[in-house]
Amino acid sequence: MKIAMIGTGYVGLVSGVCFSDFGHEVICVDKDPRKVEMLKAGQVPIYEPGLEALMAKNVAAGRLSFTGDLATAVAGAEAVFIAVGTPTRRGDGHADLTYVFAAAEEIARALTGHAVVVTKSTVPVGTNSKVAEVIRKAAPHAEFDVASNPEFLREGAAIDDFMRPDRVVVGVTSDRAKQVMGEIYRPLFLRDFPILYTDLETAEMIKYAANAFLATKITFINEIATLCEKVGADVKQVSKGIGLDGRIGNKFLHAGPGYGGSCFPKDTQALARTAQEYAAPMQIVETVIKVNEEIKRRMVTKILDLCDGSVNGKTVAVLGVTFKPNTDDMRDAPSLTIVPALVGGGAKVRAVDPQGQREGRHLLPGVDWVEDAYEAAKDADIVVILTEWNEFRALDLKRLAKGMAHARMADLRNVYSPADAKKAGFRAYAGVGR
């Protein structure tokens, strides 16, 4: 099938590349000429393990191409995916749908025959119906259907998630749209991966409900971690103990400095705002948002306590700034709250991150960037583990401690045990919930 993918951000590029690997002819569109030229040259503008090789494979096979010309990409396409950004709108917490509706209008004028216009972007309930209205208004005689196909990709594991999904959710309003979407996902159907067909509104809600639930789960264990510190319990053992219950499960039960990234912060806010508008407030979700911000600030206090109440004039080594490992994504990362607080408190901050330095230089002014953990920790007063990259999971703790002016560690991801840190020479250690 011929597919047009509008937008080459994280979702659009991963989806476009993977659809081409299914055997479809995919044209990815972006308005940024520099990004299009990068992609044509085989350069991937985001960091996602395995993506560059898979992209090169399908470009070489003639199934994948890139352009800045939307009309050319849409002409003759059987499905047109909208995968543009939906950032949080300033001032009210709503998802900004400007790019979605602009893409829909441009698609309408470019349609040459029947196509299914599929929203891949995360959008509030009711958006797909509005997309249909935009298309009808711009091109009254166009033949089209709309569909909702939310993504459930984890950054750092996106290709595997796309190729081996827990489920594919497709919202449709016609048998014709269902048939087209069925053909697109046929390789997954043949391998017995679940494909759930719903109406448009249900598909939209599934995406928000899933992310809100996961954000709630993370925030729940972080609150439990705070209580564990007060009563002397170990949150890692608590997480294991409750995670073995099949009704709960062990995922998203790792205590840390709060959630971040491109999805959870904006999607919880958008869901809460939508619920308020419909007079059905999501009190749990609203509390999750509030508590998550408090958790980030609590991590600053933890670091200050290890430094006798102040970081003024002290050197702090920060290991990891991205919101999670195996990505270069800094959006709403805990580091964006914690690091500026340290700099503002008078600390000299040295940071190291395998992929976060490019974005971090712009987002974290006043930070010195180094290439490895040992360089960051040299003569430092405290080392702070903020992101659990594999590079930080197997450090020589004795070497790390020996090179520091004061051997103190704030292990905000519970990578190391207190006993191992003490044995290695750290005279002060603090994890989360232990």
Residue type, 230: K
Find the distance separating the first CA and the last CA of the chain, reported in whole Å: 54
228 counts as catalytic: no
Which of 18, 28, 228, 263 is flagged as catalytic? 263
Tell me if residue 316 falls in helix, strand or coil: strand
Specify which residues 6 forms β-bridges with: 29, 82
Angle at 158 between CA 207 and CA 237, to 5 degrees: 80
Q: How far apart are CA 265 and CA 211, in angstroms?
A: 9
**Half-sphere exposure for 77 (CA within 13 Å, toward CB):** 30
* Structure-token pair, residue 268: 């919880």
Specify which residues 79 forms β-bridges with: 3, 116
Say if residues 337 and 301 touch (Cβ distance below 8 Å).
no
**Half-sphere exposure for 159 (CA within 13 Å, toward CB):** 16
Q: How far apart are CA 252 and CA 250, in angstroms?
A: 7
**What is the residue-wise DSSP string for 234-282?**
-HHHHHHHHHTSTTT-STT----S---SSSHHHHHHHHHHHHHHTT---
Please write down the long-range contacts of 273-278, taking CB distance under 8 Å and 24 or more positions apart. 273/92, 273/93, 273/94, 274/94, 274/124, 274/125, 274/208
Dihedrals phi, psi of 326, to nearest 5 degrees? 65, 30
Say if residues 234 and 433 touch (Cβ distance below 8 Å).
yes
Q: How far apart are CA 149 and CA 146, in angstroms?
A: 10
Say if residues 82 and 134 touch (Cβ distance below 8 Å).
no
Q: Of 225, 204, 324, whose CA–CA distance to 265 is shortest?
A: 324
Sign of CA dihedral 347, 353, 358, 359: negative
Residues with a known catalytic role: 263
